[in-house]
Structure formats: structure tokens, C-alpha cells
Amino acid sequence: MNDQQLKKISKFLSLVLRHKPETIGIELDPQGWVDTEVLINKCNANRRRLDLPTLQKVVADNNKKRFAFSEDGSKIRANQGHSIKVDLAYEAIEPPTILYHGTASRFIESIAESGLQKRNRHHVHLSSELATAKDVGSRHGKPVILEVKSKEMHELGYEFFQSKNGVWLTEEVPITFIVFP
């Protein structure tokens, strides 16, 4: 299987494990898990060819570690990015002084009015690396990087979480904590 095919599978897994499990008739448990065998069978039943070695390769190679198996491999879930309700049991931790959020220039006016909102996702996604924030922003258009005063927020009681793949998450970022370029 080539990279292009693996990427296609990864995109499809994002769809069913984060957004629309009903596409192939599966249900996620409250923590977002689905039985690995059920996932494989249902994919195949819906003309998405998938076997265990391929799935393992997608999970291991995925550039952003989007998916994870349970310890014994019997279950699989997405590490973050859900739009459907799941409880990933993140623990609140102390963030670095500054985190970055990459967005597109056309959103700036609205963000300057209402702060960073989580929109369709569970959290606002932030990164400790400038380059990552730039990539994230580029997905939407002309990238603009915002600085978030995360330490200050934390000191005032806002909670921060870090997903298994290193993305920083928080509920919202009010405008007072955003440094616009």
C-alpha cells in the first residue's frame, strides 16, 4: 500500500472515529473507543477495504498520531479532534507561558470581537510550536499566528489539557489573553 492510499484510510478513519461513526454503522463508547474487529468488519462491509496490518500501519505511521489502540489492541479511538461528544478523560496540566494558535486572516476580525471559540470541536486547539500553528492556519487560508498568554490564563483558573499527540487544548480564549500580530 502506498502513502496516498494510507492517507486516504487515515482521512476516512478521522471521519468515522471523530465525526460520523454512523457512516459505516458503528457506535463509539463514551470514551470514544470502538472494537478494532468491529471497525475492520464494518469498513469492509462498506466497501472500504481494511485489514489489521494496514490499520496498525496507519496508527503507527500517522504523522500527527491521530489514533491510538487500547493497551491490548482490542479497541481503537481518535486521540483528539472529535465533533461528537466523547470523554477522553484529559487531566488538566500547567501550560507553557505562551502557546500559539494558527488561523486564517479572514477570521481575525471576528476573533478580535469574540476571542477564540471552539466552534465544532471540543476545544480550541493550540500548539507550543510556531511552525505547527502556521501549518494549522494554512489549512484555512492565509495563515496568521496568534499568541495566547496561556500561563496567565492558567493562573486565573482556566484549564489546559494536552492530548496524547501533543496538541494543547482549552475551552476558549478570551480576547484579553490574545496577542494579535
Q: How far is the CB of 41 from ligand HQG (least distance, A)?
A: 25
Q: How far is the CB of 138 from ligand HQG (least distance, A)?
A: 10
Degrees, nearest 5: CA angle 42-44-46: 70
Q: How far is the CB of 148 from ligand HQG (least distance, A)?
A: 11
As a dihedral over the C-alpha atoms of residue 179, residue 99, residue 103, residue 65, rounded to 10 degrees, the angle is 180
Site size toward ligand HQG (CB under 6 A) is 18
23: which residues sit within 8 A by CB, 6+ positions away? Answer: 15, 16, 46
Our CB check for ligand HQG shows the closer of 5 and 110 to be: 110
Counting contacts by CB under 6 A, is residue 136 touching ligand HQG? yes
179: which residues sit within 8 A by CB, 6+ positions away? Answer: 146, 147, 148, 149
Q: How far is the CB of 11 from ligand HQG (least distance, A)?
A: 9
Q: How far is the CB of 63 from ligand HQG (least distance, A)?
A: 9
What is the C-alpha to C-alpha distance for residues 30 and 73, in angstroms, rounded to an integer? 18
**How many Cα neighbours within 13 Å face the side chain of 121?**
15
E runs forming strands in 29-176: 34-35, 67-69, 75-78, 99-104, 124-126, 143-148, 160-162, 168-170
Any bridge partners for residue 153, and if so which? none
Single residue of 63, 89, 120, 157 touching ligand HQG by CB under 6 A: 120
Our CB check for ligand HQG shows the closer of 42 and 125 to be: 125
> 60 to 119, contacts with ligand HQG by CB under 6 A?
64, 66, 81, 103-104, 107, 110-111, 114, 116-117, 119
> 27 to 66, contacts with ligand HQG by CB under 6 A?
64, 66
For binding to ligand HQG (CB under 6 A), which residues are involved? 64, 66, 81, 103-104, 107, 110-111, 114, 116-117, 119-121, 125, 136, 140, 167
